[in-house]
Amino acid sequence: MTTRKIETNSPEETFELGVSIGKNAVPGQVFALLGDLGVGKTVFIKGVAKGLGITEPVNSPTFTIVQVYEEGRLPFYHFDVYRIADVEEMDEIGYEEYFFGNGVCFVEWANLIEEIMPKNTVRITIAKNLDKGFDYREITIQGEI
Ligand code: ADP
Ligand code: MG
């Protein structure tokens, strides 16, 4: 499996990395987006949305498990499964239509639903390293993109 490590030193750089992922995304791609609170997951996702050609504001789907954006080059399905109590809740929303459909899925807190994540999921992990500065982030991309 391919692993790439990218270092950013500002929110703008992380955003631009998201833009390039969004521009290159293909139908049926599923990404797991991992990292602690405040690390830059939303910054990254906003970049992906821009790269897909979405102009409406993108925020974390706080009250729903999935937020759907149909405006871009491909449908964009943004999941936040943090509040899921049981993986059956994913069945209830019909997650397979999204994971195995023609759009691009990003799943925050995918570790909570590991058992249903597709085998070809691309894992993107954002981490701080305060020794390298407050705005430093190491972004690890595991899988084929
Ligand atoms: P999360 O969604 O992971 O909880 P956010 O994207 O909402 O995190 O917030 C990340 C915060 O970190 C923002 O305030 C952003 O400006 C700041 N930040 C500083 N440096 C970076 C960087 N290199 N990449 C992304 N965000 C950064
Ligand atoms: Mg967030």
Cα 92 to averaged position of ligand 1 atoms, centre (Å): 32
What is the percentage of the chain residues whose pLDDT exceeds 90?
Answer: 93
Closest atom of ligand 1 relative to the 60 alpha carbon: 2
- If you take atom 19 of ligand 1, which residue's CA is the nearest one? 135
| Mean of per-residue pLDDT scores for the chain | 96
Residues 6+ apart with CB under 8 A from 33: 41, 44, 45, 106, 107, 108, 110, 124, 126
User: pLDDT at position 132, please?
Assistant: 98
Q: Is the confidence at residue 62, as pLDDT, over 80?
A: no
- Mean pLDDT, to the nearest integer, of 89-109? 96
pLDDT digits (tens, 9 = 90+) for 10-26: 999 999 999 999 999 99
Identify the band that residue 95 occupies on the pLDDT scale cut at 50, 70 and 90: very high
Cα 77 to averaged position of ligand 2 atoms, centre (Å): 15
| Ligand 1, pocket residues at CB < 6 Å | 8-11, 13-14, 35, 37-43, 135, 137
- If you take atom 27 of ligand 1, which residue's CA is the nearest one? 11
Closest atom of ligand 1 relative to the 46 alpha carbon: 6
Q: Is the confidence at residue 43, as pLDDT, over 90?
A: yes
Q: For residues 10 and 144, give the distance between their C-alpha atoms in angstroms, rounded to a whole number.
A: 25
- Mean pLDDT, to the nearest integer, of 115-141? 98
Q: For residues 135 and 137, give the distance between their C-alpha atoms in angstroms, rounded to a whole number.
A: 7
Identify the band that residue 124 occupies on the pLDDT scale cut at 50, 70 and 90: very high
Q: What is the pTM of this model?
A: 0.96
User: pLDDT at position 1, please?
Assistant: 87
